[in-house]
A and B are shown apart, each in its own frame.
Chain A
Amino acid sequence: MRAAELAVAAACFFALVQGAAAAAPAPPSGAASCSGCHPTSPKAETRVPRLAGRKSTDIVAAMQAFRSGQTPATVMDRIAKGFSEPEIRAIADWLGAQQ
């Protein structure tokens, strides 16, 4: 009886720990929207680049160039203007850390 009790308690504790470990860091403001066009899945056929795992500094540079109008764009110029420098850096760091 005591052994069973211990086993159940251990199982619950393990589930708790697992649950806590499973929660990935929340994406920073705006970042979750990107995959509407920039695919995370390798199955999507698009010229829109995948962003996961890219160098964070490259993403920041691209966003700055869209924002200033230096890089011509269809929609990214209009989107980039909605984010501050710190927001862009946070998004880029998060995307860069994705698999």
Chain B
Amino acid sequence: MRAGTTTRRTFLKRSLAATALLPMPALAQGPARVVVVGGGFAGATCARELKRRAPDARVILVEANPTFTACPFSNGVITGLRELRAQQFNYEALDGMGIGLAFVPATRIDPQARTVTLSEGPVLPYDRLVLAPGVDFRWGSPAGYDEAASQRMPHAWKAGEQTLLLRRQLEAMEDGGLVVISAPPNPMRCPTGVYERASLIAYYLKTRKPRSKLIVLDAKDSFPLQRLFQAAWQQLYPGLLEWVPLSNDGKVVSVEPATNTLVTDFTTHKAAVANVIPPQKAGLIAEAAGVADRTGWCPIDPATFESPLQQNIHVIGDAAISGAMAKSAFAANAQGKACAVAVTALLAGETPSAGKLINTCYSLVAPDYGISVVGVYQPVNGQYVDVEGAGGTSPVEAPREMRAAEANDAAAWFRTITVEVFG
């Protein structure tokens, strides 16, 4: 213990001596320190790309959970098509690249001192901070829906135990039961994911419990890929799946977990299984860092993903306000790379230029029936907007072979992106 203290003191003394000897500009050019908070598709991508582009930089990834559980394809876990372990990844590859890993929650960010405080361990100073905290829920909306209620009425909107809970409830339900999904307003993580989930639950019910029914109560009047989903539902799940839009009393205003009841303005639905996906906002650490605005989300400069609210802090992934880009894993991955390029340029004293980004979201309507929505985006007036004439959905009319090809593409995409980010 004493020896350690002495060594530390000696080290500090040496550092201070070196400081005294050197002119300030040279000191500022020491190894750049970049801290990334959040190890999902955005953060883990960004950390890797930063280390690739700037091998001398000290890149530290702060992530509370040493096991990452991916949301894309987790609707397949809910409906028994795949196992949760197929969704799970670790950070060994990042460790092998020389990225520092801190598996503890970040509790405080001081933008003036440029430090990240962890729940335990050293305070981390940074030159640039990248926040990729994903989403958190607006607990209390619908009324009565809090964290305790989610143990009875799972959201399953962060993959893991919640995914398995919803699966067990579906498995335990008797044939003839009513399943209700409550869908939140925009902006939300994975805006097509609700309708993929409804589709795959309908597939599960049709094949296992055909006397059952599924109702989607929606706080929105429209959703992406709507025509394609609805046409496929008509064809595959007639009479089984009912979508109730906002304008038809679809918004759930309160829930009663004890009785598994969902209440809209005019109707009370008593469910056998209730999946309540609550309204969302940027992950809590974004608020603590002062980079979230009154909407609860984080504005960014599209060229750098830097926050206009706090210098030297960048926000990527679901937490960021990225205009027309959906909050998807593909978008998070694309933004993670773009942000790493920008941060590397900034550290080298260069001015990054904003470029185009791509997003591709696949949805499964059935295990062998895939559809997609694609976008190409460019920054206009400080926000990402759709490039006209590009992007769009799969064709409304298409042979089943094309739907099967897109289901295969979806699976290939998941394998690729998880290898690229975690493999």
Q: A-side interface residues toward B, CB under 8 Å?
A: 5, 8-9, 12, 15-16, 18-20, 22-24, 26-41, 43-48, 74-75, 78-83, 87
Contacts and interface: CB of A to CB of B under 8 A. Distances in A.
A30 B31 contact: no
A44 B423 contact: yes
B334 A36 contact: yes
A65 B391 CA distance: 16
Contacts of A31: 355
A75 B423 contact: no
Contacts of B419: 39, 41, 43-44
Given A32-B341, A41-B419, A74 B357 contact: no
A59 to B, nearest CB: 15
Q: Report, as a range, how many residues of chain B touch the other chain.
A: 35 or more
A28 B202 CA distance: 43
B55 to A, nearest CB: 5
B134 to A, nearest CB: 18
A16 B29 contact: yes
A35 B11 CA distance: 43
B320 to A, nearest CB: 16
Interface in B284-307: none
B254 to A, nearest CB: 40
A41 B355 contact: no
Interface string B173-209: 0000000000000000000000000000000000000
A38 B389 CA distance: 23
Interface stretch (B148-156, B227-235, B268-276, B404-412): B404-412
Contact of B406 (A41, A74, A83): A74
Contacts of A38: 416
A37 B416 contact: yes
A20 B57 CA distance: 11
B356 A30 contact: yes
B360 A79 contact: yes
B405 A74 contact: yes
Contacts of B389: 81-82
Given A12-B26, A82-B387, A32 B423 contact: no
B10 to A, nearest CB: 15
Contact of A18 (B56, B330, B390): B56
B352 A15 contact: no
Contacts of A82: 356, 358, 376, 387, 389-391
B101 interface: no
Contact of A44 (B334, B402, B409, B416): B416
Given A47-B412, A81-B390, A19 B22 contact: no
